[in-house]
Amino acid sequence: MARMKTTTSIHLFSLANTLIPGGVNSPVRAFRSVGGTPLFLERAKGSTVRDVDGNAFIDYVGSWGPMILGHAHPKVVAAIRASASRGTSYGAPTPGEVGLSRLIRKAFPSIEKVRLVSSGTEAAMSAVRLARGYSGKDKIIKFEGGYHGHADAMLVSAGSGALTFGLPDSPGVPREAAKHTLTAAFNDIASVKRLLERNRNQVAAVIVEPIPGNMGVVPPAPGFLAELRTLTKRHRALLIFDEVISGFRVAFGGAQELFGVVPDLTVLGKIIGGGLPVGAFGGRKEIMDALSPVGPVYQAGTLSGNPLAVAAGIATLTELSRKGAYRELNAKADYLAEGMAGAFSASGVPTYTNRVGSMGTTFFQKGPVTDYVSARRSDTKRYAKYFHGLLERGIYIAPSQFEAGFVSLAHTKRDMDRTIAAAKAVLATL
């Protein structure tokens, strides 16, 4: 097996380090958790990405999930081109944002009104502000290992116990900004009950990834989300589903359709823009009408509802709404999962896989993985070897043990057979 060329990526990374902190514009791209030099990608089509040295890879990162149709889908590209020819930004209302909002509301019955923003981070931050403003309460409960963007109030993780008062998880975040963020353990409903009881009438909302994807994929335990819904209603706290990853990914109506649990507010990410910079949050009319200019809770953005993003989003969601789209997607994911399970089992390497539909993570440990604490038991050094072994064989997965992998509608049986064969070859060396 010839070693892949990385000369140009190495040169660009060296130059980038003189211009950009760490040489990257988002930390996980730096390959710090797996070692080596990050690849600089310059083009993608369907299920394949290509780097600046001419290497081609079957892609299971998919821009961290939104490329559910595959890269450069013809209808999405055509929509972007047509929109760009009319102008790239107006800072004013457009027909497209009305059309995209209608598609979102159709997919998510819990969303009676929606506000478009520019990223998932902005959407989560705004949803939390809205929950506080609507309820008149300050405290928020999140879950250890749950990621809701890098806004100050969300950069909080648990300490040594399952329950903790918020402490900043990054320098630059004042304690005062984090002190109202409480942390519970995912899949541990008792930890949520204790926090709500100890902070009675002070909790504005519970925010949760219904299917966490940022500690690796961790499915909710049976009944966990339904119990969250019951508890939040009892304590008059809003329930916020952060569906930046799961929305339109596990079902057209996201995790709330899959599990039959209806939140008060929903956060969506760049899948609603075909991978372009966009986000959204929405929910019941009486809550959303607390936003300015109708209500007193301020939120604004010049690029909110950007015409390029909404055009790409309309094209993407229209494709996903066609009959059989998710049946086809899940059949592909099932095929890959079955083949990979055989490869892992035959290798004897301790692994444990969590999967919901077309998103999943294989943890390098015996498992089970049900929360952040159990996820962290994974053998990250072995994962790094696995990552680089696959990369050398033309398979691109997340450069971190604690991220999700994604199957797209563009992946073919040939792609997946190649992936399974590559995994077998790499696992034999571990």
Q: Mean pLDDT throughout 106-118?
A: 97
Return residue ranges of the chain for CATH 3.90.1150.10: 7-72+324-427
- Active-site pick, 51, 59, 188, 242: 242
The bridge status of strand 139-143 relative to strand 203-208 is parallel
Which fold is adopted by the domain 7-72+324-427? Aspartate Aminotransferase, domain 1 (3.90.1150)
Of 394, 384, 387, whose CA–CA distance to 415 is shortest? Answer: 394
Q: Both tokens of residue 115?
A: 């506000």
Confidence of residue 230 (pLDDT cuts 50, 70, 90): very high
**pLDDT tens track for 83-103:** 999 999 999 999 999 999 999
- Active-site pick, 147, 326, 372, 383: 147
Asked whether the predicted pLDDT for residue 251 surpasses 50, the reply is yes
Which fold is adopted by the domain 74-320? Aspartate Aminotransferase; domain 2 (3.40.640)
Asked whether the predicted pLDDT for residue 160 surpasses 70, the reply is no
Q: Give yes or no: 386 in active site.
A: no
Its pTM stands at 0.95
Asked whether the predicted pLDDT for residue 166 surpasses 90, the reply is no
Return residue ranges of the chain for CATH 3.40.640.10: 74-320
Structure-token match 């993570």, residue found: 361
Q: Mean pLDDT throughout 206-214?
A: 96
Q: How far apart are alpha carbons 278 and 122 in whole angstroms?
A: 9
Q: How far apart are alpha carbons 348 and 250 in whole angstroms?
A: 30
pLDDT above 70: percentage of residues in the chain: 97
Q: Mean pLDDT throughout 250-263?
A: 98
Q: Find the angle CA(138)-CA(297)-CA(126) to the nearest 5 degrees.
A: 70
Q: What is the pLDDT of residue 175?
A: 79
Q: Give yes or no: 242 in active site.
A: yes
| φ, ψ at 168 (rounded to 5°) | -60, 140
Q: Both tokens of residue 152?
A: 């100050």
**pLDDT tens track for 337-361:** 999 999 999 999 999 999 999 999 9
Q: What is the pLDDT of residue 157?
A: 62
Q: What is the pLDDT of residue 165?
A: 42
Write down the mean pLDDT value for the chain: 94
Q: Give yes or no: 371 in active site.
A: no
The Cβ-side half-sphere exposure at 198, using a 13 Å CA radius, reads 15
Residue scoring higher pLDDT (366 or 158): 366
Q: What is the pLDDT of residue 169?
A: 63
**pLDDT tens track for 169-205:** 677 877 777 789 999 999 999 999 999 999 999 999 9
Q: How far apart are alpha carbons 428 and 430 in whole angstroms?
A: 6
Percentages (nearest 5) of helix, strand, coil residues in the chain:
40, 15, 45
Q: What is the pLDDT of residue 158?
A: 36
Strands of the sheet containing 405-406, edge to edge, are 352-356, 359-363, 405-406
**pLDDT tens track for 46-81:** 999 999 999 999 999 999 999 999 999 999 999 999
Q: What is the pLDDT of residue 320?
A: 98
How distant, in Å, are the alpha carbons of 12, 23, 52, 402 from that of 7? 9, 16, 9, 28
- Active-site pick, 137, 139, 142, 270: 270
How distant, in Å, are the alpha carbons of 281, 333, 366 from that of 340? 36, 10, 16
